C-alpha cells in the first residue's frame, strides 16, 4: 500500500477520533431473515454468485510452478487449478471421468500428474487422460482422447487466481479485481507463498461468517480477552471498489501518531488492512502475512471455510514458529469467537420467530457488502467476468 494512501487513512482516523465520530452510511440497513434462511435465496446465490461468476481460487504464489495445484468447491462444483509443465495455468472440474470421484484434495506442489485415488485414473497436467491402470478391456468402446478433465475457465490479475465453475467464456480477472488492483499491486500479493491452511465447516449461512469480518464494532466486546486488548472498535473507515471493498481495523497505538510528525506515519505496522473480493473471499494483511479466507457454502445453512496463511517468503528456522503462532491466533479468534456467533445467529433466524436483523450506519462495510450482493444477484442473468 503506497505511502500517500496510508497517510490519508491515518488522517481520516485521527480526525474521526478527535471529533468522536466514525464513518457513517446514509441509512441503516434492515436485513430480512430470508437472506440467511431462504432456500430459494440460496439457490439464486449459488447460480449467480458461485457458478456463473468466477471466484477466487488462491493467490498466484500457490500455483507458481509446474505441478502446483489448489482444489476448492464453488456452488457445489469441485474444481482444481493447476500450473502445467508449459507454464500455463488451467482450471478443471475436479471430477474423475470414470465414477465422478474427486481427483485431488487440498493443495500440492510439484505434481507430475493428477491421480484419482478411487481407481487410479491418472490425468496429465493439461487435463488429458494419461492412464487407466488394470482396466483391461473394460472401457474398450471409449475414446481416451475424449475422457480428459472438463475445463473450467481461469484468470490471473493482481496476484489473484480466479476460476469459474460454469460457462466457457474467458475470465476477465482484471475486471473482477477492479480498483483494488493498485493496492494489491503495491502489496506484491502475487509474490506471497502459502505457509499452511486451516479448513473448517460451520452450520450457518456463508454471509453470516463474512459479516463478522466487515465491522469492528464487536471487537471491544467479543474479542475483549484476545485482540480486543490491542485493537480499536471505533472509529472505522472503508472504501468501496464496485462489489469489492477495503477496510482496516487499527491498533490502539495508531492514535499515538497524532503526536508524531506526518513523515513518520506508518499504517501497516499498526493496522490489519483487509479486502473483500466479491463475493466470498477476504484478504487480511497484518504486518508480515496475508490470511486468505474463502467462505464456500454447501447449503443455505452450511459453509466450508478455508483459511490459507501466505508469507512474503518461505519460512526459515527463525520464522517457522512465529507463523505457526500466527495461524493459531487466526484459529483462536475465528473458531472460538467469531464463527460461533454466526452459528448462534443462524439458530435464532431458523426459529422462524426472528423477522430481521439490523445493520447500523456505522457498520458501513457490512452495508456495502449486502447492497453489492443484491446488485450482483439482480444482474445474475448476465455472466460476470467474461472477457
Domains by residue range for the chain, with CATH: 1-53+179-387 (3.90.380.10), 55-170 (2.102.10.10)
Kindly state the average pLDDT of the residues 33-54: 98
DSSP codes of every residue in 245-285: EEEEEEBGGGGGGGGS-GGG--STTSEEEEEEETTTEEEEE
- Max CA-CA distance within the chain? 80
Task: Tell me the pLDDT tens digit for each residue of 249-307.
Answer: 999 999 999 999 999 999 999 999 999 999 999 999 999 999 999 999 999 999 999 99
What's the half-sphere exposure (Cβ side, CA atoms, 13 Å) at 204?
24
Element (H, E) at 173: helix 173-177
Angle between helices 39-50 and 364-378 (to 10 degrees): 80
**10: pLDDT confidence band, cut at 50, 70 and 90?**
very high
CA dist., res. 358 & res. 112, Å (int): 52
CB atoms within 10 A of CB 335: 15
What pLDDT is attached to residue 381?
Answer: 44
Give the pLDDT score at 206. Answer: 98
Taking Cα atoms as reference points, which of 221, 194, 218 lies closest to residue 362?
218
Written as one string, the DSSP assignment of 277-321 is: ETTTEEEEEETTEEEEEEEEEEETTEEEEEEEEEESS---TTTHH
Sheet order of strands, 55-59 included: 55-59, 160-163, 154-157
pLDDT tens-digit map of 63-78: 999 999 999 999 999 9
Q: What is the pLDDT of residues 98-149, one digit of tens each?
A: 999 999 999 999 999 999 999 999 999 999 999 999 999 999 899 989 999 9
Computed over every residue of the chain, the mean pLDDT equals 96
Closest CA to 246 of 221, 223, 275: 275
Instruction: Output phi, psi for 195, to 5 deg.
Output: -100, -55
| pTM, 2 dp | 0.95
CA atoms within 13 A on the CB side of 170: 8
Question: Does residue 380 have a pLDDT over 90?
Answer: no
Amino acid at each position: 500500500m503506497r505511502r500517500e494512501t496510508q497517510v490519508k487513512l491515518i488522517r481520516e482516523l485521527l480526525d474521526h477520533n478527535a471529533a468522536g465520530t466514525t464513518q457513517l452510511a446514509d441509512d441503516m440497513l434492515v436485513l430480512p431473515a430470508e437472506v440467511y434462511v431462504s432456500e430459494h435465496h440460496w439457490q439464486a446465490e449459488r447460480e449467480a454468485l458461485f457458478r456463473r461468476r468466477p471466484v477466487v481460487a488462491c493467490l498466484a504464489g500457490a500455483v507458481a510452478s509446474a505441478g502446483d495445484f489448489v482444489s476448492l468447491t464453488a456452488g457445489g462444483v469441485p474444481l482444481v487449478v493447476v500450473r502445467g509443465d508449459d507454464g500455463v495455468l488451467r482450471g478443471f472440474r475436479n471430477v474423475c471421468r470414470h465414477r465422478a470421484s474427486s481427483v485431488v484434495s487440498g493443495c500440492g506442489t510439484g505434481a507430475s500428474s493428477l491421480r484419482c485415488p478411487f481407481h487410479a485414473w491418472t490425468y496429465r497436467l493439461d487435463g488429458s487422460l494419461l492412464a487407466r491402470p488394470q482396466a483391461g478391456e473394460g472401457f474398450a468402446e471409449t475414446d481416451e482422447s475424449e475422457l480428459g478433465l472438463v475445463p473450467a475457465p481461469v484468470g490471473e490479475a493482481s496476484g489473484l487466481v480466479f476460476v469459474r465453475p460454469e460457462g466457457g467464456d474467458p475470465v476477465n480477472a482484471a475486471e473482477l479485481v477492479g480498483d483494488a488492483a493498485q493496492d494489491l499491486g503495491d502489496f506484491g500479493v502475487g509474490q506471497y507463498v502459502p505457509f499452511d491452511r486451516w479448513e473448517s465447516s460451520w452450520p450457518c449461512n456463508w454471509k453470516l461468517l463474512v459479516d463478522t469480518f466487515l465491522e469492528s464494532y464487536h471487537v471491544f466486546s467479543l474479542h475483549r480477552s484476545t485482540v480486543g486488548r490491542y485493537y480499536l472498535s471505533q472509529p472505522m473507515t472503508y472504501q468501496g471498489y464496485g462489489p469489492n471493498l477495503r477496510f482496516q481495523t487499527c491498533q490502539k497505538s495508531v492514535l499515538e501518531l497524532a503526536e508524531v510528525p506526518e513523515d513518520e506515519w506508518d499504517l501497516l505496522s499498526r493496522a490489519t488492512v483487509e479486502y473483500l473480493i466479491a463475493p466470498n473471499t477476504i484478504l487480511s494483511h497484518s504486518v508480515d502475512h496475508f490470511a486468505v479466507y474463502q467462505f464456500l457454502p454447501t447449503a443455505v445453512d452450511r459453509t466450508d471455510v478455508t483459511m490459507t496463511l501466505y508469507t512474503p517468503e518461505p519460512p526459515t528456522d527463525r520464522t517457522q514458529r512465529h507463523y505457526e503462532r500466527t495461524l493459531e491466533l487466526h484459529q483462536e479468534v475465528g473458531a472460538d469467537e467469531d464463527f460461533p456467533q454466526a452459528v448462534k445467529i443462524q439458530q435464532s433466524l431458523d426459529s422462524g420467530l426472528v423477522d430481521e436483523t439490523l445493520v447500523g450506519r456505522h457498520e458501513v462495510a457490512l452495508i456495502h457488502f449486502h447492497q453489492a450482493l443484491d446488485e450482483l444477484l439482480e444482474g445474475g442473468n448476465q455472466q460476470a467476468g467474461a472477457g
